[in-house]
């Protein structure tokens, strides 16, 4: 049985009764960590080589604390390097979208009267200025990519810009903003762990107490030892969720210590020729800690590896197909033949919910689906999607587009896929990713009647069958609900195979059919609404 390691972060808060001296020590640590990180970034940006020993002596850091500073800053640098192409793509996509809208406005202006035409050309002028601005920004981002020009605004760029409008942003004067700015820059610090250290981290050690709480023993930097002592103890820490992951890591580190003693005895006896690193390679687990201060106090984030058995993909018993949408998740359980067993859906928070609430809803939906898969003993099939290009091209909302833009901006398929995979890994459920092409079209045309004309549940059905390696050939007569009753769409006879080229033709034919039928339906409704004049009342 193969094992896999997946990074996982577990979060909790320090108790409110944490003493003032302890909070002051944490603030001092965070301020020193922030200052050292800013100076490290400034020196590396100038092309200077940072010597570990000299830098550690200058700021009073241990070697491991220097490594934590280095890892943090290089992580920020790598993040911006990966984001710069996305920024350029976003600007280019918006400029391209605006260009299409300008062409539409010009076509309208050509047919409009003089007054309307003048108004349209004023709008077109402003849109052209915006296009040029976006293209200039994209050029700047491309130049920064070529020159490896990395810029980091510590404390957040938004907070830095808020000094331009002090009263609007709730600051009495510039000194109040400066105090908030400095506090934001020095609001966290990172303690890097390693599996070959005692308890997985020598700078922050987790100690289990008799009352099932934990004590965090934080090793202070050398420059702060005189003021705050060598160690600061954070007592009464509880992990209400996923504490078993932390316990497993602690047991693994304890086992490493036992194996280390066993290795020393074997080495003295001459019964092993392995090095210590080779002998202990399978034991030990790093625990890294990040302490973050916010308006409510201090949060503790523990990052370690979730070690689980690699799930085996077996679709012989059936699968559960999942279709993720902006306001709900539809999933269909299928049997070994790909036939429907059950159809379900999980509602998500509406568009007014905060990002944290959306994240919670997504995680809850993922948990529900994985619990159903665990009960049924079946793998989960999802689509392999990316909306980065479409989201980058979002423009100012036109009439009738607000709902689509809101849906697209909330469609966090990546976050849902990550949450689903994490839950699946913890429960030993396999996850299969499939090509999403035309799943909604096939589901709507083939399984519409069997799903009560629910397009998303029908799509989940198709996704599940695709994960099982089955193909869906469209029927000749497809039941489709355009209004309150089913309509019949006749699919092109020579284009009903589960092939992208054929389905593209079907999609085009279906779109034209929908346009024609809707027009006919509107004409029919208008005819029914007209008052009927009796023949006897018609003047001769």
Helices (H), 46-62: 52-59
Strand-by-strand arrangement of the 328-334 sheet: 340-347, 328-334, 320-324, 380-383, 431-434
Termini Cα distance of the chain: 94
Give CA 486 to chain center in angstroms.
38
Residue 232's alpha-carbon distances to 21, 179, 294, in angstroms, are 9, 26, 20
Residue by residue, pLDDT tens for the chain (540 residues) are 567 788 899 999 999 889 999 999 999 999 999 999 999 999 999 999 999 999 999 999 999 999 999 999 999 999 999 999 999 999 999 999 999 999 999 999 999 999 999 999 999 999 999 999 999 999 999 999 999 999 999 988 999 999 999 999 999 999 999 999 999 999 999 999 999 888 899 999 999 998 889 999 999 999 999 999 999 999 999 998 888 899 999 999 999 999 999 999 998 888 888 888 888 888 889 999 999 999 889 999 999 998 888 888 899 999 999 998 878 899 999 999 999 999 999 988 765 556 677 788 888 999 999 999 999 999 999 998 765 555 444 555 454 455 445 545 555 778 888 889 988 988 889 999 999 889 999 999 999 889 988 999 999 999 999 999 998 888 888 888 887 778 888 888 777 777 778 888 888 889 888 888 888 888 877 776 655 545 444 343
CB 372 within 8 A of CB 424: no
Angle in degrees, 0-180, between the axes of helices 500-529 and 439-446, rounded to the nearest 10: 60
pLDDT at 540: 37
pLDDT at 518: 85
Alpha-carbon gap, residue 327 to 406, rounded angstroms: 11
CB 32 within 8 A of CB 66: no
CA angle 526, 529, 531 (to 5 degrees): 125
Sign of torsion, CA 402 404 405 407?
Answer: positive
Give CA 407 to chain center in angstroms.
16
Alpha-carbon gap, residue 317 to 321, rounded angstroms: 13
Say which residue the tokens 């890994």 belong to.
Answer: 425
Alpha-carbon gap, residue 168 to 102, rounded angstroms: 34
Alpha-carbon gap, residue 518 to 455, rounded angstroms: 18
Alpha-carbon gap, residue 456 to 345, rounded angstroms: 9
Q: Extract the tokens encoding 532.
A: 């009927």
pLDDT at 57: 95
CA angle 217, 219, 221 (to 5 degrees): 155
The pTM for the full model equals 0.77
Locate the DSSP E strands across 167-273.
188-191, 204-208, 214-219, 231-237
Alpha-carbon gap, residue 4 to 243, rounded angstroms: 19
């Amino acid at each position: 049985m193969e094992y896999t390691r997946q990074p996982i972060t577990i979060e909790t808060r320090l108790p409110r009764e944490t003493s003032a001296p302890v909070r002051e020590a944490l603030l001092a640590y965070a301020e020193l960590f922030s200052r050292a990180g800013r100076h490290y970034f400034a020196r590396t940006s100038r092309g200077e080589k940072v010597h570990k020993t000299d830098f550690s002596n200058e700021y009073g850091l241990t070697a491991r604390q220097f490594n934590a500073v280095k890892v943090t800053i290089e992580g920020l640098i790598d993040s911006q390097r990966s984001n710069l192409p996305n920024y350029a793509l976003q600007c280019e996509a918006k400029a391209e979208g605006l260009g299409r809208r300008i062409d539409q406005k010009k076509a309208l202006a050509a047919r409009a009267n003089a007054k309307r035409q003048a108004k349209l050309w004023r709008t077109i002028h402003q849109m052209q200025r915006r296009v040029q601005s976006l293209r200039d920004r994209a050029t700047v981002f491309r130049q920064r990519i070529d020159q490896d020009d990395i810029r980091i605004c510590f404390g957040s760029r938004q907070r830095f810009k808020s000094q331009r409008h002090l009263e609007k942003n709730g600051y009495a004067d510039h000194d109040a903003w400066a105090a908030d700015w400095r506090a934001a820059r020095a609001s966290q610090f990172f303690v890097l762990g390693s599996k070959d250290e005692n308890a997985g981290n020598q700078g922050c050690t987790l100690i289990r107490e008799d009352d099932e709480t934990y004590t965090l023993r934080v090793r202070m930097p050398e420059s702060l030892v005189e003021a705050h002592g060598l160690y600061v103890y954070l007592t009464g820490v509880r992990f209400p969720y996923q504490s078993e992951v932390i316990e497993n890591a602690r047991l693994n580190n304890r086992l490493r210590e036992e194996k280390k003693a066993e290795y020393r005895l074997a080495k003295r006896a001459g019964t092993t020729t392995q090095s210590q690193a080779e002998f202990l390679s399978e034991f030990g687990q790093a625990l890294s800690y990040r302490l973050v201060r916010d308006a409510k106090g201090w949060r503790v984030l523990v990052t370690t590896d979730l070690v689980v058995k690699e799930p085996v993909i077996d679709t012989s018993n059936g699968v559960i197909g999942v279709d993720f949408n902006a306001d709900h998740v539809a999933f269909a359980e299928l049997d070994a033949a790909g036939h429907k067993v059950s159809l379900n859906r999980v509602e998500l928070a509406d568009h007014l919910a905060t990002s944290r609430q959306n994240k919670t809803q997504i995680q809850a939906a993922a948990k529900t689906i994985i619990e159903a898969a665990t009960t049924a003993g079946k793998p989960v099939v999802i689509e392999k999607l990316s909306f980065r290009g479409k989201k980058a091209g979002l423009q100012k909302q036109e009439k009738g587009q607000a709902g689509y833009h809101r849906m697209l901006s909330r469609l966090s398929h990546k976050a849902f896929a990550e949450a689903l995979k994490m839950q699946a890994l913890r429960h030993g459920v396999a996850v299969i990713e499939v090509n999403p092409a035309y799943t909604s079209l096939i589901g709507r045309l083939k399984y519409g009647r069997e799903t009560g004309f629910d397009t998303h549940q029908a799509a989940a059905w198709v996704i599940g069958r695709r994960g099982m390696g089955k193909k869906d050939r469209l029927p000749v007569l497809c039941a489709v609900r355009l209004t309150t009753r089913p309509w019949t769409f006749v699919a092109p006879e020579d284009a009903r195979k589960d092939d992208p080229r054929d389905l593209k033709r079907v999609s085009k034919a279906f779109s034209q059919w929908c346009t024609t039928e809707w027009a006919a339906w509107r004409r029919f409704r208008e005819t029914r609404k007209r008052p009927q004049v009796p023949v006897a009342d018609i003047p001769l």
